[in-house]
A and B are shown apart, each in its own frame.
Chain A
């Protein structure tokens, strides 16, 4: 019983040090984009695009939303690889989810459509 009490106090003290759940699920996004940025091969690009899809489709973070900038990055990559309509669609999704990105994303869309 005493041991249980000690354990309970210890847990209480430790949890009082603010632990919070991640806002977003990133999957392997950080490593995949980093590797592609280091060495832009077709194979690494495929891996990166798969991670984008995962982050967009499988969100288990506290917010349950796609992280800022992710739709835009994915859309930009799709556009650059020839899937223009689909790419623009994702760029516009970024603005819809994060209206504060309007100025910047609209500028990117304008540049792409030039």
Chain B
């Protein structure tokens, strides 16, 4: 009997972990109305003191957006264009007119990101990133999708419970954390946050995911 109850609980927790009350179609209706095909990645807006975060995070969104089924303009190519056209500061566009990207690139939508946190804690063994994502239509200017993620990557190493072991673990954690590129946390953040972005034309899920459960608007997670 005990075993059966345990099993029922296990199944219930698995089922509930795959479902949230709001569907993607309800949470992101504009995505299903406009059906953007092409996305331009805007240079990130960096609110942290880590200047390198902007350049390094910029290119990480390309692959996950392609995997979602969109045509994504290569950030390596658009970066040069944005710099030439003095558009490398996305702050001037985040709430303004972005129809220029439709004219110049043919983009249906532009994705903006705001990096709110980008740090490394060697002693505690954690990399932390906090990024807000906003996808805006170049046609209507409306926000099609927005979500924020705070992701911590745990780089700690357990050296054991003895005094010496704990010290070894502390040093190993510091070395491992220092050696792990912060961009890894950025990539994980993309994977978490963009997981409930409705699928684009090249995905087998295109126009079939409206009933799938959407995630929370703010997602917080710690990953190994």
Contacts and interface: CB of A to CB of B under 8 A. Distances in A.
B183 A63 contact: no
A72 B80 CA distance: 14
Contacts of B14: 10, 13-14
A78 B66 CA distance: 23
Interface string A52-70: 0000000000110001111
A39 interface: no
Contact of A104 (B10, B62, B106, B204): B106
B69 A18 contact: no
A76 B78 CA distance: 12
B74 A69 contact: yes
B77 A13 contact: no
A24 B204 CA distance: 13
Contacts, number: 85
A103 B73 CA distance: 11
Contacts of A13: 11, 14-15, 18
B218 interface: no
A100 B66 contact: no
Q: Is the interface of B mostly helix, strand, loop or mixed?
A: helix
B212 interface: yes
A6 interface: yes
A41 interface: no
Q: Quick one: which of A23, A24, A38, A108 has the most chain B CB within 10 A? A: A23
Contact of B77 (A17, A23, A34, A108): A108
B205 interface: yes
A33 B202 CA distance: 24
Interface string B72-99: 1110110000000000000000000000
Given A13-B15, A100-B38, A103-B105, A23 B72 contact: no
Given A23-B67, A68-B66, A100-B37, A73 B105 contact: no
Nearest to B199: A20
B77 A73 contact: yes
Interface string A15-47: 011101011101001100110011000000000
Nearest to A105: B77
Interface of B: 7, 10-11, 14-15, 17-18, 37-38, 55-56, 59-60, 62-63, 66-67, 69-74, 76-77, 104-106, 183, 187, 202-205, 212
Interface of A: 6, 9-10, 13-14, 16-18, 20, 22-24, 26, 29-30, 33-34, 37-38, 62-63, 67-70, 72-73, 76, 98, 100-104, 107-108
Given A22-B67, A24-B66, A76-B77, 8 more contacts: A10-B10, A20-B204, A24-B67, A33-B76, A69-B71, A98-B71, A100-B38, A100-B71
8 contacts: A20-B203, A22-B67, A24-B66, A37-B55, A37-B59, A37-B76, A73-B74, A101-B106
